[in-house]
Amino acid sequence: MKDYCNQTPKVRQAFSSKLSLPYTMTRRDFLAVTGSAVMASSLWPLGQAWGADSDIAPAGNIGELNATGAGGIDLYLERRNLLIGGRSGRAIAINGSIPGPVIRMTEGKEALIRVHNLLPESTSIHWHGILLPFTMDGVPGISFPGISSGETFTYRFPVRQNGTYWYHSHTGLQEQLGHYGQLVVAPAGPDPVAYDVAHSIVLSDWTFEDPQRVLWKLKTMEGYYNFQRPTLANIQDQMQATGMTLKEVVDKRLAWDRMRMDPTDIADITGATYSYLINGQTAQENPVFTARPGQRVRLRFANASTMTFYDIRIPGLPMTVVQADGQNIQPVETDELRIAVAETYDVVVTIPDTQSSDWAYTLFAETMDRSGYARATIAPRPGMAAAVPGLRRRPMLTMADMGMMMDKDMDMKHNGHMGTKNKKDDMDMQHHMPDHGGKRRKLPTQNLPNRIRHGSAEHGPASITMARTAYRRLDYPGAGLGNDGWRVLTYSQLRALERPYGRRAPTREFDLHLTGNMHKYIWGFDGKKWSESCMIRFQYKERLRINMINDTMMSHPIHLHGMWMDLYAGGSLDDNPRKHTVIVQPAELLTVDIFADAPGQWAFHCHLLYHMEAGMFRTVAVVKDLKGGPIHAKV
């Protein structure tokens, strides 16, 4: 395959000169200027002494910077001891804190960000979900060479969108050490979302272990962090929780054992090592977001975790979801939402009118595997708290997660949600359309196949293909959700607020299998790791469809850089939501359409950090045409 992929690098020389760094500084230069620069950009809310390692500051001291304001902003990356949950941890701090400052931008202006690398190693910042020139995308090895130790890299790009996003390192496992923050882009025009006060909420996971050590454990000892496995001691518990008899429980467990699978393998890394954080603070530290009765409070959630899906709810307050991945959606009221790693959601909650000053609401963010939670409080003043719910029972994977769904259920779902009202549109899609290269058929945009059978190909030793059938799960809220008597957001409820630009039926499609060997911790697409892969080529300006088929038993948040993925959410072409990150659940067939309007090379990967580092990653090349041969991803 290697030969197949290799091509003569024609423009390397021409290009390399264009990628030289704008300017460099020595470390000594830095130390001379940082003090004043930092204070000048007013990013220390409490004006703390910087660089003084002796007195350890707590994490979560987040500042705010305006990157489209005059003069731009400076970000300083350094290794620093911070108190996380009261314990000292060696973090990568951005301007002295984890998370880094909330970076604000205004749509239509130019962002200017100087990143100063005070780390002893190379680093990078990726602006997650932002459309920009590929050289500004911040992926070492794809967009640029990275930012070497002691260097400064200047990011400069026009801001062409608005909404809530985030940023993070794209170098190695640095993200695990706190190298992330929220990014909020104000709309150029009026905001369709009405609110009185807004709060930035960065969810993350923290470990005091060395991330490389964590990866080594995952690679060498399966289930290392799972302390909720099936045991003899919890048979009784499982019988009570599920209403099954002893024989049924034993049979079920034997069925999983026969497949060499663990139904409790919901999260690779758990509360056994993680502290779960909201804005750098643990549940015990209880960060408080203030509001007044009657106010509409906009909560901007970004999940900056490396491995943790959170289930968010505010007992007593329904949430109106107004934005998903920075894109306005038709408002949906719900009681709970699952936010995957790298997704962002904006919700608005209205504080009920009251004369009392003693009200408080708990913002409860439970991890998907129920091994822990992050928590904050919405209240009129700091120091307040409300009752904290207990953790629910950890979910177990079901036969449906292996693609063994009853046909009865399938038909009901089909009739109930897809309907047949769009038969005519569907017919229209069958029309042929002439093109340069011959007849091209526009692909249907509604009533897509509900399921797909896996062929006999097994994708080799790097893949344990569990699901023999993959099917649409847009209505399925996910493992462990939907049985509590309250509403849970699903992808089928996401509808774009306005018809986004460039919507049309795609003319090309391909299948992409999400594959992995959880036993050996090898992850990839179509059974190949990144280092073994060729780039996925998009043709510039084409409308392209990718059918993602999850062969594994885990949910993967799949992220495309540089371009939107228009999620087929069961609705019409006009209102499918735009996403930068989509959850593909076990045994799910999930379809996205992409408008390939961003020339260059981009990253496309599972945003679970350790899956990514284990190979679940592709380079996407948006090229002029597809006549040339495949391009190998690795030099």
> Is the peptide bond prior to 99 cis by the omega test (within 30 degrees of 0)?
yes
Question: Reduced to 3 states, what is the DSSP secondary structure of residue 31?
Answer: helix
Find the binder of other proteins among 257, 409, 498, 574 (CB under 8 A).
257
By DSSP bridging, strand 327-334 and strand 319-324 are antiparallel
Q: List b or e across 236-266, with b for residues whose CB sees 16 or more CB atoms inside 10 angstroms.
A: eebeeeeeeeeeebeebbeebeeeebbbbbb
Considering the rule CB under 8 A, would residue 18 count as an interface residue with other proteins? yes
Return the residues of window 341-360 that contact other proteins according to CB under 8 A: none
Which window, 79-87, 244-252, 361-369, 446-454, contacts other proteins (CB under 8 A)?
A: 446-454
- Give 84 or 139: the residue with its C-beta nearer to other proteins: 139
Considering the rule CB under 8 A, would residue 536 count as an interface residue with other proteins? yes
Return the residues of window 202-231 that contact other proteins according to CB under 8 A: 216-217, 219-221, 224, 227-231
Considering the rule CB under 8 A, would residue 432 count as an interface residue with other proteins? no
# binding residues, other proteins (CB under 8 A): 127
Find the binder of other proteins among 43, 139, 341, 558 (CB under 8 A).
139
Which window, 38-46, 139-147, 345-353, 576-584, contacts other proteins (CB under 8 A)?
A: 139-147
Which window, 70-78, 393-401, 456-464, 570-578, contacts other proteins (CB under 8 A)?
A: 456-464
453 burial class (0-12, 13-18, 19+ CB within 10 angstroms)? exposed
All residues at 6 or more sequence positions from 248 whose CB lies less than 8 Å from its CB, including other chains: none
Considering the rule CB under 8 A, would residue 194 count as an interface residue with other proteins? no
- How much is the CA Rg of the chain, to the nearest whole Å? 24
Find the binder of other proteins among 116, 543, 559, 607 (CB under 8 A).
543
Which window, 25-33, 296-304, 365-373, 613-621, contacts other proteins (CB under 8 A)?
A: 613-621
Considering the rule CB under 8 A, would residue 370 count as an interface residue with other proteins? no
Q: Which two tokens stand for residue 147?
A: 């930012």
Return the residues of window 149-168 that contact other proteins according to CB under 8 A: 156-158, 160
Cβ–Cβ under 8 Å, residues 514 and 607: no
Find the binder of other proteins among 15, 23, 208, 486 (CB under 8 A).
15
Residue 55 CA to residue 553 CA, distance in Å, equals: 45
Question: Reduced to 3 states, what is the DSSP secondary structure of residue 122?
Answer: coil
Considering the rule CB under 8 A, would residue 452 count as an interface residue with other proteins? yes
- Give 13 or 54: the residue with its C-beta nearer to other proteins: 13
Considering the rule CB under 8 A, would residue 565 count as an interface residue with other proteins? no
**Using CA of residue 527, residue 529, residue 530, residue 534, what is the dihedral sign?**
negative
Considering the rule CB under 8 A, would residue 131 count as an interface residue with other proteins? yes
> Residue ranges of the alpha helices (H) in 155-291?
211-220, 235-242, 246-258
Which among 309, 311, 339, 335 has a CA at the least distance from the CA of 323?
A: 339
β-bridge mates for residue 281, sequence order: 278
Find the binder of other proteins among 31, 49, 194, 259 (CB under 8 A).
259
What torsion do the CA atoms of 368, 373, 379, 384 make, to the nearest 10 degrees?
160
Find the binder of other proteins among 93, 307, 462, 489 (CB under 8 A).
462
DSSP state of 255: H
Smallest gap from residue 604 Cβ to other proteins (A): 10
Residue 116 CA to residue 444 CA, distance in Å, equals: 48
Return the residues of window 494-523 that contact other proteins according to CB under 8 A: 501-502, 504, 507-513, 517, 519-520, 522
Return the residues of window 469-498 that contact other proteins according to CB under 8 A: 469
- Give 26 or 231: the residue with its C-beta nearer to other proteins: 231
Considering the rule CB under 8 A, would residue 108 count as an interface residue with other proteins? no
